[in-house]
Amino acid sequence: MKIAVAGTGYVGLVTGVCLASKGHDVTCVDVDEHKVKMMQEGVSPIYEPGLSELMKENMERLTFTTDYKNAYKDAEVIFIGVGTPEKSDGSANLTFVNQVAKQIAQSVERDCVVVVKSTVPIGTNDKLEQYIHDKQVHDVKVYVASNPEFLAQGTAVKDTLHASRIIIGSDEPAAIEALQKVYRDFPAPKLVVNRKSAEMIKYASNDFLALKISYINEIANLCETVGADIEEVTAGMGFDRRIGDSFLRAGIGYGGSCFPKDTKALSWLASFNDNEIRTVKAAIEVNDNQKFKLLKKARKYYDDFLDLNVAVLGCTFKPGTDDLREAPSLVNVPFLLEEGANIKLWDPVGTNNFKRQVPSLKIRYCETIEETLENCDICFIFTEWEDVKNFNVEKYSSLMKNPVVLDGRNCYSLKQFDGTDIIYDSIGRPVVNLNKS
């Protein structure tokens, strides 16, 4: 099929490349000429494992352009995969979605299906369809369908090619048939629902996962108080098939482009319609507080951070991505700097983005974990990169001036620190070697 994709961020570009890998002819549209030029040369503008390789393998079926008129005019299916960032009040900003809808109305010259992949408030698809019908220049049939994405950064290619489910939100047979044809070679189960249900499925799914994370973090905090071990607790919980073991890893909160934005958007939407989702509001509050968990722990070891040499391992919100959106590092590092700390930071892919967001001469960016730890008084682990998880823990003792390791992602087992002089303080578990402080 001839497909156009509006937007080349995580959703748009991954969608376009994966569709091309299934044999479709795909034109990806973006307003950024620099990004388009990069992609035309086979270079992905985003860091996502496996994406660059898949893109290069399918360049004969991929076109990248800023010319939306030519891209949209004769496309059979047009995917909208642009961002919907949050506004100051927590609601979703639909500016980019609306801009694409306007361009589509001006450009389409054949019957087509407009597919909204962007995460949008319930009812948005109805409004977009009405808008396009009111503004379209040519007398053609344009159907709007909802097709929410469920990809996770770091595993986006796999999540798209081997999706857990494909949701088709439409009551129009022509739109349903077109999307079934688009996804014919995708092995995932396909569920056809109405558009508003499809929009709600996306929010309800993301917010439920956010609830699980915030819930288990609260249980972990209580475990520290009463002397239980959160990993033993979650192991016991995970055997219950009604609960499952996914998203039960305790830590310092969720971040990224989805959970923070989508929880706030659904909470705002409920409030706007005179409803209240108290569980979601609580999850937001718990997550905001959890991000400061390591700073609170650090107060046990140092009264202040003035001139303290601090090692920071990981700055992205999760491993496998260079995305910093809502990452705990973005609130912790500036606080440490304000308190007078000297920061050494290591991350395998995220440092360039971090430099732009937290410009400071008091941050030294390091090439290795060893260089980061050398002569430091305390270490904060914010991201569970494999390099961190596989690091020889004895090096914390030999490299640091005072081996205090605060692990916000529970990268190590407690036994690894037995017989060492390293104070290891993690989330929801007993502190190892606390008496040596």
Tell me the per-residue pLDDT of 143-176, one tens digit each, with 9 for 90 and over: 999 999 999 988 999 999 999 999 999 999 999 9
376 a catalytic residue: no
The model's confidence at residue 434, banded by pLDDT at 50, 70 and 90, is confident
- Between CA 127 and CA 132 the distance in angstroms is 9
Res 349 pLDDT > 70: yes
Percent of the chain with pLDDT over 70: 100
pLDDT per position as a tens digit, 350-409: 999 999 999 998 999 999 999 999 999 999 999 999 999 999 999 999 999 999 999 999
Quote the mean pLDDT of the chain.
96
- Is CATH 3.40.50.720 what the domain over 2-193 is classified as, yes or no? yes
What are the residue boundaries of the structural domains of the chain, listed by start? 2-193, 202-290, 293-436
Task: Check: CB of residue 360 under 8 Å from CB of residue 337.
Answer: yes
Instruction: Output the CA angle 2-136-169, nearest 5 degrees.
Output: 60
* Given the residues 18, 223, 258, 366, the one annotated as active site: 258
Q: What is the mean pLDDT of residues 276-303?
A: 96
Contacts of 230 (CB under 8 A, 6+ apart): 216, 219, 220, 223, 250, 410, 427, 428, 429
Residue 173's contacts (CB-CB under 8 Å, 6 or more residues apart) are none
Map residue 16 onto helix, strand or coil.
Answer: helix
String of b and e for 380-400 (b: at least 16 CB within 10 Å)?
Answer: bbbbbbebbeebebeebeebb
So what's the pLDDT on residue 436? 63
Q: CA-CA distance, 146 to 310, in Å (whole number)?
A: 47
Average pLDDT over residues 75-88: 95
User: In the predicted model, is pLDDT for residue 218 greater than 70?
Assistant: yes
For the range 172-177, what are the long-range contacts, defined as Cβ-Cβ under 8 Å and sequence gap of 24 or more? Answer: 172/143, 172/145, 174/111, 174/113, 174/141, 174/143, 175/113, 175/143, 175/144, 175/145, 176/145
Compute and round to an integer the Cα radius of gyration of the chain: 24
CATH of 293-436, one of 3.30.930.10, 2.60.40.420, 3.40.50.720, 3.40.605.10: 3.40.50.720
Cβ atoms of 315 and 329 within 8 Å: the answer is yes
The dihedral sign for the CA sequence 356, 361, 362, 364: positive
Same fold, 2-193 and 202-290: no
Indicate whether 437 pLDDT > 70: no
- Return the pLDDT at 171: 96
Please give the CATH topology (third level) of the domain spanning 202-290: N-(1-d-carboxylethyl)-l-norvaline Dehydrogenase; domain 2 (1.10.1040)
How many of the other CB atoms lie within 10 Å of CB of 302?
17
